[in-house]
Structure formats: structure tokens, C-alpha cells
Structure 1
Amino acid sequence: MIAQSAHQAYKQNSVSTASPGELTLMLYNGCIKFLGKAKTAIQDKNIQEKNLNLQKTQKIIQELMSTLNMDIEVSKSMMQMYEYMNHRLIEANIQNSIEIVEEVEGYVTEFRDTWKEVIRINRQKTFTGDQA
């Protein structure tokens, strides 16, 4: 019980001290985690668990959508992709489709990996003092 509260405190502190870029990375990682749980639930024919995890994924994608700066051109493309992924998650939920979940998981993983690289490059620029 004490270990669990310590873990919760650590997680809360991690979120409250994270930069916006790190928070976005956490959201992508959460998506991937819940998509994995949804796939397992589909395989186990656990409809309630599948539905719960797909809905959690959709809420994260909706949060990602709300953070987009629509004044930036690439955000319009990202919005379309997020809308597409949300639509596909609804289909996956209705059809109990691991294939659709894996399709969305592929997109989220690609976004996450790209975002990790952006964070790495920005840290490198900050560390070297290069603000170009």
C-alpha cells in the first residue's frame, strides 16, 4: 500500500514538473499503452476492458487535438490524422478489430518517435547554446 502511494506521488510529480513537450510524449505513450491493453482485451474477448481502453485512447487523442495551434499549417494535417484515428478507434470498438487497433497504434508510435526526436534535438540545441 505504501509503495503504491509512493508510485502515485512519483507519477503526479512527473506530470506536474514535465515540460509541454514531455507531456505530449507522455500522452503518446499512454495511447500506446491503452492500445496494447485493448488488443489483449479483444483477444481475450473481454468487451468491457476493450471498450474502456479504446475510450481512454480516444480521450488522449482528443486532448492532443485540443493542444494543436491551428495557426501553424502542420497542425491542420495533424488534426485530420487525429480525427481519422478517432474514427478508426470507433470502428475498432464496434468490430472488435485488432487490425484497426494496430493501424492506429502504428500512427501513434510514429508520432511518438518523431516527437521524441524533436525533444532530443531541442535539448541538444539548448545544451550547446544553438538557438538556430
Structure 2
Amino acid sequence: MAYPNALSAYRETRVRTASQGQIIIMLYDEAIKQLDRGIELLTLNQKGKPDPSRIEPINKALVKAQDIITELMVSLDFDKGGEIAQNLFSLYTWFNRELLEANLAKDVERIKAVRTMMNELRGAWQEVVVKTATEHQNNSSAGINIAG
């Protein structure tokens, strides 16, 4: 069946043609998806101790989210971003530390706190991307004056 290959090709094309801002939003979307997965698996288990069969999937989801957050960290441009980049770096560091502790303790509330903050940041990035695209479109839609 060719569907998995088609989906993979679609995703690859989507990433290759995306702007830097759109890629950041995709990273946030995937991190939030992984956090939701971890929350879902832990929420189903709140009988004192996590179901041993869910430990590995919980760990995988949270580690994937941490990997994505690390990618967001290394994508920061401290020269252009200045104080905002420094603040994001500190926040991403805190996210990773919280997720590490949450994973060890299987603490769903810590994961939820990180997820909430990541969702807020994703919304802010979405606004920036839309504003930048609108400004770019307004600047390029003026066209060329061939009348002289």
C-alpha cells in the first residue's frame, strides 16, 4: 500500500516549503501532541501507581516532547532575538526540567502546566506568522507600475 509513502512525502514537502515561523508552529504542534499523549496515558492510570504497560509509551511521548523543545532551543537566534531569545531559552530550559521531573514522578499536573504554557507560546507564534505573512503580502501586492 502506497499510503504511508504518500503521507511521508506530503509531510516532507510541507516542511520543505514552510517558512521558519511555520516550522516553529509545527514543532509546537507536535510537542503539544506528545504532551497530550503523555497526559492521556497518565490520566488513565491515576490509581496510585501507573500501569506498568504504559510506562514506556508515557516515557516515549515525554522524551519526544523534550527533544522538540531542545530543537526549539537550538533554533533561537540570540543576535536577532536579544532579550526575547534569552527569555525563551530560559523557559524552554524550565520546560525540559519540568518534563524530566514529571516523567520520573509520573506527575500529570506538571505536564499539564508545561502544555498550557506551550499552547500560549504557540498562539503567540501563530500571531507573528500571520502578521508577517500579511505584511509580506501587502508589500508584494503593490505590483509593478508599468504606466511609468
Relative to the length of structure 1, the TM-score reads 0.94
Percent of paired sites with the same residue:
32
Give the AA of the match of 2:70.
Q
Q: CA deviation at 1:43?
A: 2.7
4+ residue runs over 6 A deviation: none
The answer for the alignment partner of 1:61 in structure 2 is: 69
Task: Structure 2: state its 5+ residue gaps.
Answer: 45-50, 141-148
Number of the residue aligned with 2:112: 102
Q: Structure 1 CA distance, aligned partners of 2:138 and 2:20?
A: 21
Secondary structure at the aligned position of 1:26 is classed as: helix
Once the two structures are TM-superposed, the CA of residue 98 in structure 1 deviates from its matched residue by 1.1
Q: 1:64 and 1:9 mapped to 2: Cα distance?
A: 23
42-51 or 21-30, larger mean C-alpha shift = 42-51
Deviations 1:8-62 (A, max 9, x none): 1101111111111111010000111000111122234311000001000000000
C-alpha displacement at 1:97, in angstroms?
1.1
Higher Cα Rg, which structure: 2
- Out of 81, 85, 107, which is 2:95 matched to? 85
Count of equivalent residues: 130
Unaligned runs of 5+ in 1: none
